[in-house]
Structure 1
C-alpha cells in the first residue's frame, strides 16, 4: 500500500471542515485541482473512500468521519513539532522573542533590550506587542512582560519586576465629579482581559460602555470625555489631560517577567530579565 502524506491529511481535514474543495483550497493557499487530487491520493493510499461527492459538496463517509478526530490529533502534533522547532531555531541563533502589551514597550522593554544587547552584542530580540497572549509553553515566545496577578501556570517561571498600582481617571473635560465611592454611577471603559474581569467581579452591574484590547485604546476612549477608566499610575499620571480621581486600595497586581521552565538558567534570558529589573528601578517604579 502506498504511503500517505501529512500534506494530504491537511487537505482532508480542510475539506471535512468546509464541505467543499474550493473553500478548503483557499484556506490552504492552493488551487482547487491540487486539493482534489490530494484527497484522491489519500483515499488511494489508505484504501478508503473518505467523502461522498454531490452537488451540495463533500460529505465525509462513515470512514471519513472516524478519521477526522485522528487527523485533528495529528494536526495538533504537527503544530507542536513546528513550535518546538521554532524554539530550537531561536535557541541556536542566540535570538529571543519577547512579548508584551502596549504601554510597556517604550518606557520599559525597548530600553531594557538595548541594555541587554550592550552586554550580549550577539543577542537578537524580536519584540511582539499585542493584546493576544502568546503561549510560552508552546514556544510562541520565549519571554513575556505581563501585568496582573502572579502567573501560576505549571511549567512557567515568573519574576516580579514591580508593583503596578492602578488609579481611577477621567478626562479633564468630563462633566461630573468622580470618586471611588461614586464610580459605579458613571459609564466605564476597560481593557479586555484581567482588568475587565476584575471590574465585573467587583461590580457585576457596572455600566461598562467601552471595551478595548489595548491601553492606547483606553486612553483614546477617555479622550472622548464621556466615560471613566482605571489605569496603571505610570500610564495615567503621565497624561496631562487626565485627572486622577482615586486609587484602587489593596490592588495586588504586579508586573512580571515570565518564561518557560525549560529556559531557566539560559544566560540571555537571565541577562534580559536583569535588564528589565534595572529599567524598572531607573523609572522609579515601586518593586
Structure 2
C-alpha cells in the first residue's frame, strides 16, 4: 500500500488516545478543552473509519475493547511522533525570543539566579524567563519547567544533564550571635549553640554529629525546610545554619561559624529535556546558567 494514498485524521486518534488514558469522555474532554459531545463524535468517527469498536460502555465509564487494546500502543507511538515533530520544528527557529521556565530551589532562585538572569536579559532582552521555585524535582518531561537546577544526577532517559560544579555547604551565623555564645572554638563547645534544622528527619543534626559534633534535639529550637527563610533567621541572629558558601561568603551580615569546619560537598546539575535542548533559545539560556552557576564567586558579587 502506498502510504501517500492513506487519509487519516490525527484529531480523532488523539481523542481516542486521551480518552483511553483518562478513562472517560468527560475527563478526556476536560484535558483536551473540548465539549464532551464533540469528543464523543471524534471517537465514534474513528471507530467508523477503522471499522472496529474501540470502547465498551460499562455503567458510567468506558473500557477498552480488545481491538482498542491492540491499537492503543500504535496510537501512543503516533502521539510521540507528533510531539517529536512539534519539538523539532520548535527547535529549528533561530529567533532568540519567547519564554523559558527555569526550576530551582528557593535559595538558588533567591540568591544565585538573579545576577545570572540580569546579565542574560542585557544580551537577550526578548527572552522572557519564568522562575519556578521548588525544592522538589520538577518533571521536565511534563513541561513543569524547561531547565532545572538539581543537586542529583537525573536518571530519566529523555533528559540530558551537565554537572556545572561541586558546591560547598558551610555553617554560618551572625557575628552578634557568635559573640553572644562566646565564639566557641571547638566542636564540643558548640553544645550550647542553637542551630536551625532543615527537615523533620534531623538531617542537619545527624550530618554534624557525623562530623564530630555532639548535638541533641535541644540544640535545634527551629526547623525550616525553606532555605531562604532559614537564611533570614540566621541573619537575624537566631542560630546557626548551613548553606552554599557562594551565598554565605557573599553576605556581609554573616560569617563562617566554624572556620575550620570541613565543608559538605554536593553536586550542582543543570538538566533539560533531550529534545528541548536542541532549541537555540533554550541552549542560550542553558549555557548562560552553566557559566553563571559554574563560577566560584558568590551570588552577591553580581
TM-score (norm 2): 0.59
The correspondence for 2:32, drawn from 28, 51, 62, is 28
Q: 1:275 to 1:44 in 2, by over 3 A?
A: same
Q: Which residue of 1 aligns with 2:245?
A: 233
CA-based RMSD: 5.5
Residues 138-217 of structure 1 aligned to structure 2 (within 5 Å): 141=146, 146=149, 148=151, 156-160=161-165, 164-168=167-171, 188-190=197-199, 212=225, 215-216=227-228
Match of 1:6 among 6, 10, 13: 10
Aligned length in residues: 264
Q: Distance in 1 between matches of 2:72 and 2:238?
A: 51
1:276 and 2:292 aligned? yes
**Partner-residue secondary structure (3-state), 1:30:** coil
Residue 251 (str. 1) matches residue 251 (str. 2): no
Q: 1:231, 1:69 → 2: CA distance?
A: 47
1:18–1:24 contact (8 Å) kept in structure 2: yes
Cα deviation for residue 31 of structure 1 reads 1.1
Structure 2: state its 5+ residue gaps. 178-183
Cα distance in structure 2, aligned partners of 1:110 and 1:156: 22
- When structure 1 is superposed on structure 2, of 67-76 and 254-263 the one drifting more is 254-263
- 3-state SS of the aligned residue for 2:107? coil
**Which residue is 2:119 aligned to?**
115
Equivalent in the alignment of 2:129: 126
1:189–1:221 CA contact under 8 A, matched in 2: no
Rg: which structure is higher?
A: 2
Partners of 1:75 and 1:63 lie apart in 2 by 18
Cα pair distance change 1:147/1:168, threshold 3 Å: farther
Gaps of 5+ in 1: none
Q: What is the CA–CA distance in structure 1 between the aligned matches of 2:31 and 2:260, rounded to whole Å?
A: 49
67, 73, 76: which one aligns with 1:72:
76
